[in-house]
Structure 1
Amino acid sequence: MSMTDEDVLKQTRHWLEKAVIGLNLCPFAKAVYVKNQVRLVVSQARHADDLLEELDRELDLLVATPAEEIDTTLLIHPTLFDDFLDFNDFLEIAEGVLDEHALEGVVQLASFHPKFQFDGTEPDDISNYTNRAPFAMLHLLREESIDRAVQAFPQAEAIFEENIKTLEKLGHSGWRDLGLHS
C-alpha cells in the first residue's frame, strides 16, 4: 500500500511539531510554522531529473513570493532516495541548481533524511537525529530569514551542540516515544 500525499504531510507535520519545534532543534522554526509560512510540497517525481525540475519551480516560487507568505519550503520526497548516500550525491547536483538560478547568498539548501549520517559517525549515533526526518527532504531557506534569526539568536553557532545534548538526554527510546522513527 502506497502512502498518499496527505499521509506524507501528516508524518512531516508530526516530525516538525514533535522534533524540530517540540525539542527546539531549530529555535527559528516555530514562528514561521505557526504563521503558516512553511510551504510543504510532496514530490511524486519518479527520477532525480524530475525532482530537479520541481526544485527549479520551488526556488522560483520562493523567490517570487513575499516571505510573509512563504518564508521557507520543504520539498519532501517519500520514495526516490531510500539510500542516504544516493541522496547525498543528489545534494551536490541540487546545490548546482542554486548556482544556475544565481541564488547563492539568497537561498540556502539544507537536507533531512530518515538515514541521515554525519561523516565520521556511526549510523545509530544520536547526533545524526538532528537531521533525521521521516522522508528525504530539501529545505529551501531564505538567507535574509536566516540573518534575521541569527540576529535574534546571537548564539546560533551553539544550536548544534545544544541539539546534541538534547538528543543525548532523550536517547533513542525517547525519540521513539515521540512517535518518531528512524
Structure 2
Amino acid sequence: MTAPVTAAQALADTERWLARAVIGLNLCPFAKAVHVKGQIHWAVYLAEDEHQLIDALVAEAEALVACDASVRDTTLLIAPNTLPDFLDFNDLAARAERKLARAGFDGVLQLASFHPRFQFGGTELDDIGNATNRAPYPTLHLLREDSVSRAVDAFPEAEAIFERNINTLQALGHTGWAALDVGPGAAKP
C-alpha cells in the first residue's frame, strides 16, 4: 500500500499541472487571468473515504460565494487519496452536482471535474484527447456562472475550445504529454 499523498504534495503537483498543461498548452484560455491575479482558492481533501467529499465541496461552494470574485473567483478541491477509479469519481461528481443544486447553487456555480484516468464516453482509455480533463489527482472545480459567462462572451468562438484542445493534444502526442511531467509526485512541495 502506498503512503497517502500530503496536502503539500497535492498542491504542488496540481499547481504544476495548471501551469504546464492547462495554462502552458492554453487548454483553458480563461485560467491564466485568475491564476495571475491569485483568484484561485486551492483546497485539499485528504481523507480516503469519499463519503464526506461532497460535504467538503458544499462547504467550499459556500465559502466561494461568500467571497468577492475579485478575491476568490474559483476553487479547486483536490482529493488525492480517494476515488482512484474514474467511474466511481464520475458517479460522485454527478451526485455532487445534484447536491450543489439542492443547496441553492444552481445558476450560481458550475462544477467541472478532472481525474488522472479521465475518459470521455466513446473513447479508448489511451486516447490522448482524454488528457484535456486529466489532472494529477481527482479534482472538483467550482466556477462562478457569472465569470464563465463573461469569459465566454470575451472569447470569440468559445465553442471551438474543445476541438482546438483535442488538436493540440494530438499534435503533442503521448510522448509530448509525458514530457510535461504533470503527474502525481512530479513537483517537489
TM-score normalised by L of structure 2:
0.93
- CA deviation after TM superposition for structure 1 residue 45, in Å: 2.8
Matched, 1:91 2:93: yes
Name the structure 1 match of 2:13: 11
Q: CA shift at 1:44, angstroms?
A: 1.5
Aligned to 2:141: 139
Superposed displacement of residue 79, structure 1: 1.2
CA distance in 2, matches of 1:91, 1:7: 23
Deviation at 1:66, TM superposition (A): 0.4
Please, which runs of 5 or more residues in structure 2 have no aligned partner?
Answer: 185-189
> Which whole-Å CA distance do the structure 2 matches of 1:104 and 1:154 have between them?
26
Equivalents in 2 of 1:132, 1:46: separation in Å? 20
Question: Is contact 2:114–2:138 with CA below 8 Å preserved after alignment?
Answer: yes
Query: Contact conserved, 2:112 with 2:140, CA < 8 A, in 1?
Result: yes
Match of 1:165 among 164, 167, 177: 167
Question: What residue in structure 1 maps to residue 59 of structure 2?
Answer: 57
**Scaled by the length of structure 1, what TM-score is found?**
0.97
Are 1:78 and 2:80 an aligned pair? yes
Gaps of 5+ in 1: none
CA distance in structure 2 between the partners assigned to 1:45 and 1:2 by the alignment = 9
- Alignment of 1:118 with 2:117, yes or no, is no
Distance 2:41 2:7 in 1: 14
C-alpha RMSD of the superposition: 1.1
Aligned length: 182
Tell me how far apart the structure 2 counterparts of residues 180 and 75 of structure 1 sit (CA, whole Å). Answer: 17
Instruction: Give 1:47 deviation, angstroms.
Output: 2.3
Check the 8 A contact 1:116/1:128 in 2, yes or no. yes
Tell me which of the two structures has the higher relative contact order, counting C-alpha pairs closer than 8 angstroms and 6 or more residues apart: 2
